[in-house]
Structure 1
Amino acid sequence: MDELFIGSAICEVTEWGDILLPRRFHQTLQLRSPEPVLLVGLHEESPCLVVFDRLYAMQRQFEVAERLAASPGGFQDYHRLRRIYGFVDEAPVAPDGMMTLPRIMRERGAIGQSALLVATGARFEIWDLAYALDHGPSDLVTLATLLRVGQIANEVCNVATVSPVRTSGPTPYPAQSGFRVQHLPALQPRHDPVGGRAAHQ
């Protein structure tokens, strides 16, 4: 399949290692492979995890085989082979796009409570967000910062659109002068005629 992972996102990671994949990433996985399983491994150079499907692993196998055939000395890249096939674990993906990072791979990648997902075509990377912001390459720091700012702005907008909860009880009267107004019962009219006492004297 020619479908590629495109884009980036910041995702929360639960204490069990669950990550809800961005919708675009999940759709790409469904188009690339009917199997709802991803493979999680270590990046060749960077301190992050790489995620790919079996199709990518098979393509890499063909690339290695071609290099072996073209190499007069019998090229053997055992380090690369271990990275592709040995230091890898399966991560099942639920129908809603929830992926569970294997515990060992999460520890090897030092992935904390927030992760930065960055697509790189046939696979995508998972970085610990704090590490990416503090120690990542400049382009990755810029990307993570922009995503984080956008995330905070969305959270603020969501809070602002929520209507305030009305408290139970009587509705307070508007205070105009600062004094509390107490309502008194209406006065009953008097029945004796005005000046009646003076007429009897």
Structure 2
Amino acid sequence: MTERGDYQGSGIALVDDKGRVAIPNALRATLAQNSPRADGKDGGTIVIAAHEDQPCLVAYDPAYVATLKAELKHRLELSRGEDGKVDPNIMRNGANGEAVPFDGSGRFIMPGYPRFHAGIGEHAFFWGMFDTIEIWDPKTLLATQAKDSRMAAACRFFCQEKGIAL
């Protein structure tokens, strides 16, 4: 694999009643680069997980799993108390991803539990975070106190552009 691409960009997508959604163009090419299919055809794999502490999803390519695991193991060691015990929630929170295929158009089926966790209904807002992608329900994002103002503005922009009422 060539050098790993960074996830930069954002967009909004319609989620159908079966949970099918398409990754916005701004992020799709990087995901395909980071997650090429072995047979050389278009598409690949995306890992979808409940975010560790935000009411959204986090998505990444399978190659990022090793980086995430190493980071979590480091945090696990830092949590070790005087009694030698570690906080098992560190691994529980970070190891909940589900790998799903996406096609050449970037369409994938959002797994049920992560979608439920994030409250994603008819629309999903995607936000590139270099190593990962956050996926939000637009209304949830705008109601969340810890949101970034630029991220919220982008979400409102894409919703307005698509005629989505907030």
Same-fold call, TM cutoff 0.5? yes
* Offset of residue 54 of structure 1: 1.7
Equivalent residues of 2:123, 2:137 under 8 A apart = yes
Q: Are positions 1:89 and 2:91 aligned together?
A: no
CA distance in 2, matches of 1:102, 1:78: 24
- CA deviation map 1:87-117 (0-9, x unaligned): 2222220122101101222112210001111
- Structure 2 vs 1, CA of residues 71 and 105 (structure 1 numbering), >3 Å: closer, same or farther? closer
Residue of 152, 158, 162 corresponding to 1:141: 152
Aligned position for 1:131: 140
Of 11, 14, 20 in structure 2, the residue corresponding to residue 12 of structure 1 is 14
Distance in 1 between residues matched to 2:80 and 2:124, nearest whole Å: 43
1:90–1:102 CA contact under 8 A, matched in 2: no
CA contact (8 A) 1:67 1:75 kept: no
Q: Identity of aligned pairs, percent? A: 25
Distance 1:40 1:75, change over 3 A: farther
Consecutive unaligned residues in structure 1, runs of 5 or more: 153-201
1:102-113 residue pairs with structure 2 within 5 A?
Answer: 102-113=111-122
Secondary structure of the residue aligned to 1:54 is coil
Measure the CA separation in 1 of the matches of 2:85 and 2:65.
19
Alignment-derived partner of residue 160 in structure 1: none
The answer for unaligned runs of 5 or more in structure 2 is: 38-43
CA-based RMSD of the aligned residues comes to 2.3
- Which TM-score applies when normalising by structure 1? 0.66
Query: Hey, what does 2:86 align to over in structure 1?
Result: 76
Q: Provide the rounded CA distance (Å) in 1 between the counterparts of 2:53 and 2:27.
A: 23
Q: Does 1:100 align with 2:113?
A: no
Structure 2 residue 124 is the aligned partner of structure 1 residue 122: no
Question: How many Å separate the matches in 1 of 2:56 and 2:131?
Answer: 16
Could you tell me how far apart the structure 2 residues matched to 1:19 and 1:72 are? 40
Larger radius of gyration: 1
1:71 Cα offset (Å): 7.7
Higher RCO (C-alpha 8 Å, min separation 6): 2
Deviations along 1:63-99, whole A, 9 cap, x unmatched?
33445667885673422211222x2222220122101
Runs of at least 4 residues off by over 6 Å: 69-72
Give the match's secondary structure for 2:33: helix
What TM-score does the superposition give when structure 2 sets the normalisation length?
A: 0.78
Distance in structure 2 (CA, Å) of the matches to 1:108 and 1:72? 29
CA contact (8 A) 1:11 1:19 kept: yes
